[in-house]
Structure 1
């Protein structure tokens, strides 16, 4: 069959007109965006409404991903795992039902991510799920945090809702919500955040109903199948351009005393088959579950294995069921990177070891050589994104608890691009927003004394990792508790293909004239009059520093992120005063001499 006939056949097999397909794709995306706005505007906790730690999605009723828009990477490629148990556990799902799932043993990510799900019916037939996932400030754990690296099992974590119906016939089940508020340090905030998710689900249901009214069932469901086919074709075409073979990468999470004294190695192998347009991600060669909360859930392990691949494919590929079907994931039960063995703890499943898994997925492609892959990025949970709590002296001692995003880690470089400054970690990849100083100080009794870029902290290379961010904040007129898990203190982000490493994370208590170095993983009391100082990791560099374009070197120096001395000693770029006062320019002759002497 010639190319023309194949194209004609392809058109003949389409279920909807290509132009209508584009329209409906945008309509579904618009619905997810509107759901997102409902969550953001109606939520009460800063971690949701300010930092934006939430995601919304639409799936078919048989659990195939249709659309996510501006969702966090950790939530994108495994939403189906949270909805699948619903159709297994319930045989009486009806219109107006809403379900809550935050249990890693029933498909959740970790206990702090409450996943609200609602079926969408058309003429009595269930056809879609709308999903609103939010990270909550508190879930009633023994420690005022949702990240508990030392929690050995789920009995030491916050409350789990293993697929529980929280609304029926559009009416909230007050007994279920009462359980949640009773086990929460900030019950009003928790209930407000839950109701924001309920509102988002009802919004999604209503808007999809309007699509059915306008276009009819056959057109909508035909679009969905065409959309999946398109996603699969795009993914196959992108994978077909990669070099065939098997590639492996290993990174290591920092030691956690009593949980993983030597750290946690994270190993990943990918098998690339350009002919099939398929990639198999094998994460089975990892250690067994550890006695703490660093174990991944099946949801996070599966999704993160896929995201590492998507991060190395063309950005235009849709994040839908068809595209992700071309990425197969192999996990082992009872592994720290795999399917957890009940009842081990998984409270940190969305960040630390999970970040390392995504980092391995990002970096393994560098084994193919330039221009593939990227360098290691910084990871989650330095003190700059710790969970703070205490009793607010300005609100009659009312308890508060919230995760702040004062400052976070930088991204690793990739071919052609320097690292992303406001990266935060691979699980969020720049979509978590940096807190507003004014908003944090108005909501909580704290002062953010400073935050900013630490010059020279980036991984050097042909393309630089992002520099580290550092800062200082402290409580006002009370003792504040902070819980953090600063991975990257012992094993900072590494460069690839000749690139340098990024700066390590640091946690320091400043009290009077003393500077006390704190453990990397800890619950600390910052007394009235004391301060917490943090450094979040810089990103690793990509490629030989001597290949970096001199114009990029001088731009970084003029930005204040690189010293004149490092420009010369690391990059072989000599500088001189420019015509404009305060700026430097490249000394072309001296630079040529320096670089020639090092070849």
Structure 2
């Protein structure tokens, strides 16, 4: 049966509604704040071969609309009605991409035939391992990140596998919370199965099966039509994680985007080698892995909000990521903090598309989100393990207007947890929760402001896990004359004699009375700040979004006695002009990235990458660190690549095992 376009849209709406029902069941029955408030979960309808063809639009994570469940679905060949399967092993099919993400899938039978699967994941607040919440950049191998389950049946023909559940409960820090979330997840799949069968009864089974393929095909055709509006060519962009390990070096994600008549190539060659920390992204060399193409989902949807969100839209893309790189690691590499790297991958994709479509794409969003978790005890001595929710930044400014404040932009699917909920469920006191003035990148259209959260703890041996700490060094870039957003701030006991700047630390031990303050980073600005309407700057100052000092120094706007001084502003702006020196003629990266790239130029990094690729995977992280440290010790900022060759020669003399790389990069 072939649907016409209107019928296909109706069918798509039914499928999305089924996924929405799954999500609603999950939100209403989950136990953890991280699921029922933050909504770090996904729900999906997947084809028999595992391609997502429908997902919720108003609930949960937006990262997984193109997820391919095929590798884990094919782990079994003997499905029965009532089966529910699960895995959280990042290296089993590369679908669950860190251990807290428990992925489940359930076959939907109709008259003895599997017609699709209902599936999804939830992020468990803790899955055991070396640290509370299971995730930290301090971890160096997957075995430290909690208990792992290869694909297995958690429900076998309608009977729950109690032995498997007992293994999980024995290894996690808040077992009642985990078991509650797991049962909610099973209920969610049962809801999905029921809704699918209702759709089949309405449309007929043959139409349902045919409609799945047509949804995927139509989304592909929509995506290709959007991509054909992008000028053909090659667009290079790189972005950075502040540190590739605790106290480490900047970690680069490099992308060459190729646009060719509606087809898109994402070549991540030139990205850093896999790390001996937990920020690796396990992709299994999948050419369309969902985690690498999240930003493409956002770009396509921004350019055509009517596009069907499913795996079909990713068919126009192909990814290349060298084996042994941070985007294609080999076991036993730790992967728990892969979200941090994924967000920077998104920033790199946005940077490439911004060059291709400068009038249609915004400046960089905050591209960072810190998820605060607390392990503490209440007055009765009971252990409390909870997430306080995300602390994010703002969206990037664009030709259409300012970036939205505190939205998280590409991380906006992570909902904030109300202060009242946090204080009711966790023995802490929230002292401040609001916007950070002066954090948005200045521009004709300002970058969005960041969030600040400050709270006090009351119990000894409280441990704060600040997952995904980043953007303390490298801010979110501005475009077309707009300025980079302000970087993030993380402190203990701010404004006191005991103040401690925590930087990108993600594990903080606290004692009673300690105060933790976290400020996100701002979005980048769009267009020269002196082109911004003076009245808009005045309004920002009144609201506390921009200080009077920043209004004068960056925007050329004079605020005197709380009001706009029109004449003084005109005189000041006349002397400032609108032209600013831009990085690469288009971006404003901020001072820290400019300083870093004055040493590690694109040419030098290319030579470094050749050396890294020429040695075994186990040597690459060590080699990169040695190259960085020795080049820094020389203090050279020259543009030539000879110094890189010279430093490598020193290392070969000291470590002969590196010698195989000499000829290749010479």
Q: Does the alignment reach a TM-score above 0.5?
A: yes
Which 5+ residue runs of structure 1 have no aligned equivalent? Answer: 1-13
2:214 match: 226
1:297 match: 282
- Label 1:369 to 1:219 Cα distance change in 2 as closer, same or farther (>3 A): closer
| 1:563 aligned onto 2:547 | yes
1:346 match: 335
Residue in structure 1 matching 2:55, options 45, 68, 91? 68
* TM-fit CA distance, 1:510: 0.9
Mapped contact 2:238–2:255 kept (Cα < 8 A): yes
* TM-fit CA distance, 1:597: 3.5
* TM-fit CA distance, 1:371: 0.8
* TM-fit CA distance, 1:30: 0.8
| 1:502 aligned onto 2:485 | yes
Mapped contact 2:244–2:279 kept (Cα < 8 A): no
1:531 match: 515
Mapped contact 1:406–1:437 kept (Cα < 8 A): no
- Label 1:203 to 1:268 Cα distance change in 2 as closer, same or farther (>3 A): same
1:10 match: none
Separation in structure 2 between the aligned mates of residue 561 and residue 77 of structure 1, nearest angstrom: 35
Separation in structure 2 between the aligned mates of residue 369 and residue 234 of structure 1, nearest angstrom: 18
Cα deviation code 1:548-579 (max 9, x no counterpart)? 233433332232201234323322344578xx
Mapped contact 2:88–2:103 kept (Cα < 8 A): yes
Separation in structure 2 between the aligned mates of residue 369 and residue 209 of structure 1, nearest angstrom: 43
| 1:317 aligned onto 2:299 | no
| 1:279 aligned onto 2:269 | no
TM-score normalised per structure 1 = 0.90
Mapped contact 1:407–1:451 kept (Cα < 8 A): no
* TM-fit CA distance, 1:528: 0.3
2:326 match: 336
Residue in structure 2 matching 1:262, options 249, 267, 271? 249
Mapped contact 2:419–2:430 kept (Cα < 8 A): yes
2:143 match: 155
* TM-fit CA distance, 1:78: 4.5
Matches within 5 A, 1:519-598: 519-574=503-558, 584=563, 591-598=569-576
* Matched residue SS, 1:197: helix
Mapped contact 1:422–1:434 kept (Cα < 8 A): no
* Matched residue SS, 1:22: helix
* Matched residue SS, 1:524: strand
Matches within 5 A, 1:36-47: 36-47=23-34
Cα deviation code 1:199-223 (max 9, x no counterpart)? 0001000110111122211211222
1:207 match: 195
User: Is the deviation greater in 325-334 or in 286-295?
Assistant: 325-334
* Matched residue SS, 1:178: helix
2:644 match: none
* TM-fit CA distance, 1:88: 2.9
1:184 match: 172
* TM-fit CA distance, 1:74: 6.1
- Label 1:36 to 1:131 Cα distance change in 2 as closer, same or farther (>3 A): same
Cα deviation code 1:249-299 (max 9, x no counterpart)? 1111112545x72121111111112x2x11111113212111011101217
Separation in structure 1 between the aligned mates of residue 540 and residue 366 of structure 2, nearest angstrom: 20
Give the count of matched residue pairs: 567
TM-score normalised per structure 2 = 0.81
* Matched residue SS, 2:392: coil
Mapped contact 1:312–1:372 kept (Cα < 8 A): no
Matches within 5 A, 1:349-388: 349=338, 351-368=339-356, 370-382=358-370, 385-388=371-374
* Matched residue SS, 2:74: helix
User: Alpha carbon RMSD of aligned pairs, Å?
Assistant: 2.2
Cα deviation code 1:436-493 (max 9, x no counterpart)? 1111000011111112212111111122111222231111244410122421112222
- Label 1:452 to 1:513 Cα distance change in 2 as closer, same or farther (>3 A): same
User: Is the deviation greater in 129-138 or in 588-597?
Assistant: 588-597
* TM-fit CA distance, 1:91: 1.6
2:661 match: none
1:90 match: 76
1:141 match: 129
Separation in structure 1 between the aligned mates of residue 461 and residue 558 of structure 2, nearest angstrom: 50
* TM-fit CA distance, 1:519: 4.2
Separation in structure 2 between the aligned mates of residue 515 and residue 536 of structure 1, nearest angstrom: 18
| 1:54 aligned onto 2:41 | yes
2:640 match: none
Mapped contact 2:39–2:60 kept (Cα < 8 A): no
- Label 1:149 to 1:463 Cα distance change in 2 as closer, same or farther (>3 A): same
Mapped contact 1:392–1:478 kept (Cα < 8 A): no
* TM-fit CA distance, 1:303: 2.0
1:412 match: 396
- Label 1:415 to 1:330 Cα distance change in 2 as closer, same or farther (>3 A): farther
* Matched residue SS, 1:110: coil
Matches within 5 A, 1:114-125: 114-125=102-113
